[in-house]
Structure formats: C-alpha cells, structure tokens
Copies of this chain bind each other. A is one copy, B any other.
Amino acid sequence: MIRSRIVGAGGFGGANIIELLTAHPEAEIVSLVDVDGVGQPISAKHTHLKGICDLPVSAPDDATWDDSIDVVFTATPDGVGMTVANDCMKAGARMIDYSGDFRFNSAEAYAGYAERIGRDPTHAAVDLLPRSVYGIAELHRAEIADAAMVGNPGCFAVSAILGAGPAVRDGLIDTSTIICDAKTGVSGAGIKPAQTFHYPLRYENMNAYKIAAHQHNFEIERELSLLAGAELRVTLTTQVVPLCRGIMTTVYGQLANPSTTAQELYEAYAAFYDGSAFVRVEPQGTPTSNNDVRGSNLCVLSVNVDPRTGRMIVVSHIDNLMKGQAGSALQNMNVMFGLDETIGLRRPAFYP
C-alpha cells in the first residue's frame, strides 16, 4: 500500500484527494494536516466524509517526518509546499504539490513567475526545483514516473495546455495569436467564503477577473513554449460563471495554413492524445459540455475550424477539482508509483 499524507486537508483540494485515496485499492491515508480543526476528525469539517474518513487533523508543527510516508500531497496555496519539501525529501517521501511552488524547475523560471504574481522571487527550497516535474501526465509521463516531486498544474493551465498543445506542437497555428478564454465554476476559488462568492451575489452573476494578469498564464506559456520549441505568449482571460465544478476554456489561434480543415485538425489532436485515457477528442459538430466531465478526471476537447476567418477554435472541458486538481494529483501518484494511471479514477461524470 502507498502510504500518504495530505497537508491542507480542510480545503476542497484536500477533501477530494481524501475521497480518491480512500477508494484507491493500493493507497491509504496515514495522516492529515491542516491549520484549522486540529485534533478533530476531518469529518467534523467535511461532514460528507463521516464513516468514510474520520482521521484526526494534525497541526503542521506536530506532523513528524519519518519513513512511514511514501507520498505527501500538499493541497496548499503558494508558499507552503516549499517550506515542507526539504523535510519531505529527507524522510524519503515523494511529493505532489498543488501550488506554483514546484511548477517551474529552475530558479530563473520560478523567479519570473513569482515576480509576476507579486511574491518573493527567491524560492525557499531552490535546490529541489530540478527534481520537480510539471504534473500533466499527458505531456510528461516518463519524467513524472521518475520524479521526486511533481508540481501539480493549475486548473486553468490544464484546460488551456491540453486544448492548445497539439496545435502548438504540430505547428498548426500561428503561436503569436493564441487566446484562451476560460470560464470556471466557483469551486476554483476554494472553500473560504468571500463577498464575491456569497450565494446571493453569485447565483446569477458572471465576471472576468485578473484580466491579463492571472498567475496560471505563466505556466501555460512555459509549457506551450516547450511544445513549440520557441518562446510564445498567450492572452488568458479568466472568468467565473455560476456553477460549482467545471472549466470550459475556448482556445483560439490563427491557422498557420488557412486551408487546414476541421477534420485534419481533429486528426492531429486525436493522434496526439492516442493512449491518453483521460483525454477525449471530439470532431466539429459533436456536442460537448461540462456534463461530460463534471466529477470525472476527463478532459474533453471539441476541435473546430472557422473557415471564414481561418481560425482554430478548440473548446476544452475539465472538472477543475478533478483533472484540474485532485484527479491529476492522483493520476500523477499512479504514474510515480508505477501503477496503471487510471486506477481509482475510472468513474464517469456525475449525472445529472
């Protein structure tokens, strides 16, 4: 059994990895850590876990590090994972971090990201950065298998990178024209209440936020630049719509060859994701929707061409808490420990 610890158990990202690990046939949870609810069972906060997982919550300082743990999930915001990482590595555990702390494998790349989002550009565990791999298995399966650490990707980034990746790698679009128009459900904002997510102010609301300034923009550009083999920049617009779980990112790009057909584009995407169980590519004309992915680890891509304007339009659907967070984390764990990557993740979307 893979013995796991979850740091940040009290958030949505913590709750969801608890659910997945509890149902996983080859993993178990040995400890839960959070700053809130210390000493109480996690099911006091996440009451839906009563009888499923009633482990107590430990304070960060009380969580000892020894060889009893094989993998740590740090389901925490930026700045936490980097303070835990050295202890984790010393104890021989591997680590999957949900934040931006380990999504960039060099001091320079991290500094660029940190400056952009207003954080200290000096990384607290800079020596470990080269040991970390960006956690989209569809792009980095082999490196993840060997990695000590995985920087689990940002939710918007998963949808955008999977949506643009094949076109970028295969040179099918002009990489200076990429626009990612992303719409997310509210759970992406986490469990902490805020005015803008107060039910009466949100139920019929939608808005753009952090226009041209979202922190996930940076990792999208980095991963797509790697695929393109050249630096590129992307416009990312992040928008909140009144649903709980789901991201729909519409990716636009000017076709490199304006006569590329929707069918040709579809075939390129299908080829790219051949063998990837969690990406389903649909051709132009086949309806896709959030209902196809909600609650599942799937990414569903609708691949389209607007021949009148010579543009590619790819609609990328994921569940932000699954493929966009805990689902990818478990998929990465499976890959890291040599298991079939679909174990514990084969459930269909929650319906209706």
Contact = CB atoms under 8 A, between A and B. Distances in A.
Interface of A: 12, 15-16, 19, 22-23, 46-52, 177, 179, 181, 183, 185-187, 189, 191-195, 197-209, 211-212, 233-235, 237, 239, 241-246, 248, 250, 252, 280, 284, 287-292, 294-296, 302, 304-309, 311, 313, 315, 321, 346-352
A212 to B, nearest CB: 4
A294 B211 contact: no
A199 B250 CA distance: 24
B244 A205 contact: no
20 contacts: A177-B177, A179-B252, A181-B252, A183-B183, A185-B200, A186-B199, A189-B200, A191-B198, A191-B201, A198-B198, A199-B242, A199-B244, A201-B291, A203-B244, A204-B245, A208-B248, A212-B305, A235-B252, A235-B306, A239-B248
Contact of A207 (B186, B200, B206, B287): B287
Of A199, A246, A346, A351, most buried by chain B (CB within 10 Å of CB) is: A199
Of A49, A193, A292, A295, most buried by chain B (CB within 10 Å of CB) is: A193
A46 B302 CA distance: 17
A347 B52 CA distance: 8
Nearest to A302: B208
Contact of A315 (B192, B208, B304, B351): B208
**7 nearest A-B pairs in the assembled complex, by CB-CB distance:** A207-B289, A212-B306, A48-B349, A193-B193, A200-B352, A181-B181, A241-B241
Given A199-B197, A243-B205, A12 B352 contact: yes
A102 to B, nearest CB: 24
Contacts of A346: 23, 52
Contacts of A284: 211
Contact of A199 (B198, B289, B296): B198
A156 B229 CA distance: 38
Contacts of A211: 284, 302, 304, 306, 313, 315
A309 B51 contact: no
B292 A47 contact: yes
Contacts of A289: 47, 205-207
A173 to B, nearest CB: 13
Given A280-B51, A348-B49, A186 B212 contact: no
Nearest to A177: B177
A200 B183 contact: no
Contacts of A243: 203-206, 241-242
Contacts of A189: 200
A49 B350 CA distance: 10
Contacts of A15: 351-352
A187 B291 CA distance: 15
Given A187-B352, A241-B241, A350-B350, A248 B207 contact: yes
B250 A206 contact: no
Contacts of A280: 50-51
Contacts of A22: 348
Given A187-B200, A194-B193, A239 B250 contact: yes
A348 B22 CA distance: 10
A50 to B, nearest CB: 7
Contact of A244 (B179, B245, B304, B352): B352
